[in-house]
A and B are shown apart, each in its own frame.
Chain A
Amino acid sequence: MDVVIQIIASGLTLGAMYAVSTVGLSLVYGSLNMLNMAHGALLALGGYICFYTMTALGLPAVVGVLAAVVVCGLVGLLIYVCTAAPLLGSPQFETGVFIATIGFGAVVENVILRMFGPQPQPQSLQVPGDIVIGNVHIPNQNLLILAVALGLMVAMALLLKRSRLGRAIRATAQNREAAQLMGVRVGQIYAIVLALSGGLAAISGIMVSSLYSLLPNMGGDPMLKAFIICIVAGLGNVTGAVISAIALGLLEATAQYNLGVQYSFALLLFLVIVVLIWRPYGLFGRKQVVRL
């Protein structure tokens, strides 16, 4: 019984963490058809900015998180300006933007490497203490991650479903030309979506680094996991992404317990390969009819 509680607790924490970064990626793909390979670098950047404001500048945690969100949002905007905007409308947009964002991510990651060095650092935003359920100690840090992730998901859902901006984002995702004809400023929407995704990446990066540690290339694995979740859900499907994130978090925790940590990620990758071959448009995706 204790084992089950333990697995559920860590699985939910992992899933919540993944959900935050996946929603950003999924939103970007849904509206722009763009795979943002610089997302992992944004995760690391967010973690480091929070660390820097709290240790070097000695400011409280709230300021650290806000600074990380703002900076990563701005860098997200920069990604739009540097890579996506000039390529919009080109016939090979998807390939081009994929390669360009790989380049952007490499730049950000190596700038971090130059500024903070290659050695791992502990994230300074830590909540001490834990609560006890049965015989299982659950750190407050995990509970905080879960709460923040839930809050963010609710906020994102409200933003997408209830606000004017959310309607514009959904309209652009469904049909760019039609949205444009209805007076939606598509370029602006794209910029906002990338900035939003950058902000979410910052929070996700702080979460990931608080459980493991800060490294310039720490974003690589979470980004690949986020992509896996996107694929399993069907690229661009935000609701499916949240469900898949939680499910994969639980699965990863189970695999870590039963098979050992070193095989859990390989197992996830194997799973995505199977899903892609069996259902190429994802579990929650709808089959697209391609007109020639």
Chain B
Amino acid sequence: MTPLRRDVLVTVLLVALAATVPFLTSTRYIVTQTTLFFIWAIVVTQWNLVLGVAGIFSLAQMALFAAGAYTTAMLGYYWGVPIALAMLAAAIVVVIVSVIIGLACLRLRGPYVALLTLAIAQMLYLLIVNDTDCFTTPPSGCMPLFGGVRGISRFGDLGFRALLGAKWYVAHYYLGLALLALAILVSIVIIRGPLGLAFQALRDNPGYAMSRGISRFKYQLWVFAVSAFFTGLAGGFYAAQFAVVGPTVFSLSQLLLLLSMMVVGGLGRIWGPVLGALLLMLADEGVRELGDWRDIGLGLTLMFFVVLLRRGLAGAAEDLWRRLRRGRALVVPGR
């Protein structure tokens, strides 16, 4: 079986497994938390394409996510666009934003890219939070263009509340699962396909790769565009799920959480980010009562994995598997 088929098969099995969860439990909390896990898993699988596979040190993913959420909310709030349509429009807007950021980053090297993208995210955050001029004045009071500190709410929903009543969250669960499945499939196709090979070549021997006609420019823009689409969609879905979008999506602790998910799971691997997202969401659930200790634990985890387990859990598992099989088969290099 080719690696591509194996990964697709694993995806199908995992999705089938996840689809049974709402039947096994009637606890609303578990279902909605799993939906949240789907959202973060989408973001990290796409971020992994940029950071892990292409090796571009972009921290803009949360800003793109926020752009998706804000575009959806604002389209719904100001123009009454149906949310499903607004999510799609938001995804396209986010792709455009991402390509612009990608163009700006093309000439820069490693840490400069990180700083530039961090500066963009911080600038958007400050512009939203510090804007106190009223754009419209609804009955509830003053409403800045981007909702200010309080954020935007009452922009409509996906329509499942009217359709299913109290059980609307189950529909959101399946929608999230479907989006995640698509996002994982896209990441598999990219990592196993020509784009992934191109990045591997550019990373392993840039001179040779470029002389063979592999254009860094073209592939970098592609990865920025593709990864932005699902990130924007996830942002729109987040807005629909929580019915409110506020500037907290820009917070550093959220960025820390998502970065830890990728690093714990294993950067650049297909299943690493998903595994990391699952583990950290579970761990987060466990330390919910501990408050401040949560971020201390996250920080320590991040350091531990970067310093001692560079390739993450997925990488460590792969190494172990390879060692076990060494007697039987040839060692196959690569991801």
Taking Cβ atoms with an 8 Å cutoff, the residues of A that contact B are 29, 33, 35, 82-83, 86-87, 90, 92, 94-100, 102-107, 109-111, 113-114, 220, 224, 227-228, 231, 235, 262-263, 265-266, 269-270, 272-273, 276-277, 280, 292
Contact = CB atoms under 8 A, between A and B. Distances in A.
A99 B107 contact: no
Interface in B98-130: 104, 107-112, 114-116, 118-120, 122-123, 126-127, 130
Interface string B284-324: 00000000110110111111001110100000000000000
A106 B308 CA distance: 18
Contact of A103 (B112, B123, B253, B298): B298
A273 B119 contact: yes
A224 B194 CA distance: 38
Given A83-B307, A87-B306, A228-B119, A235 B111 contact: yes
A92 B116 CA distance: 19
Contacts of A104: 299, 303
Contact of B112 (A86, A231, A270): A231
A222 to B, nearest CB: 13
B270 interface: no
A92 B307 CA distance: 11
B302 A106 contact: yes
B299 A107 contact: yes
A98 B298 contact: no
Given A99-B263, A114-B292, A266-B130, A106 B298 contact: yes
Chain B interface extent, by class: 35 or more
Interface in B218-268: 252-253, 256, 259-260, 263
A106 B303 CA distance: 10
A103 B119 contact: no
Contacts of A269: 119-120, 122-123, 126
Given A224-B122, A292-B206, A98 B303 contact: no
Given A110-B292, A224-B119, A280-B112, A103 B303 contact: yes
A106 B299 contact: yes
B120 A273 contact: yes
B48 to A, nearest CB: 13
23 contacts: A35-B111, A82-B303, A87-B307, A96-B306, A96-B310, A100-B306, A102-B302, A103-B298, A103-B299, A103-B300, A104-B299, A106-B253, A106-B299, A106-B302, A111-B296, A114-B296, A227-B119, A228-B119, A262-B130, A269-B122, A269-B126, A272-B116, A276-B115
Interface in B159-189: none
B301 A103 contact: yes
B303 A83 contact: yes
A94 B292 contact: no
Contacts of B263: 99
B298 A273 contact: no
B193 interface: no
B98 to A, nearest CB: 15
Given A276-B112, A276-B116, A107 B259 contact: no
A263 B303 contact: no
Given A83-B303, A100-B303, A270 B123 contact: yes
Contact of B296 (A96, A107, A273): A107
B207 interface: yes
B111 A94 contact: yes
Nearest to A94: B110
A59 to B, nearest CB: 28
Nearest to B262: A99
B70 interface: no
Contacts of A266: 123, 126-127, 130
A100 B302 contact: yes
A224 B127 CA distance: 16
Contact of A107 (B110, B118, B300): B300
Contacts of B37: none
Contacts of A227: 115, 118-119
Contacts of A220: 252
Contacts of B308: 86
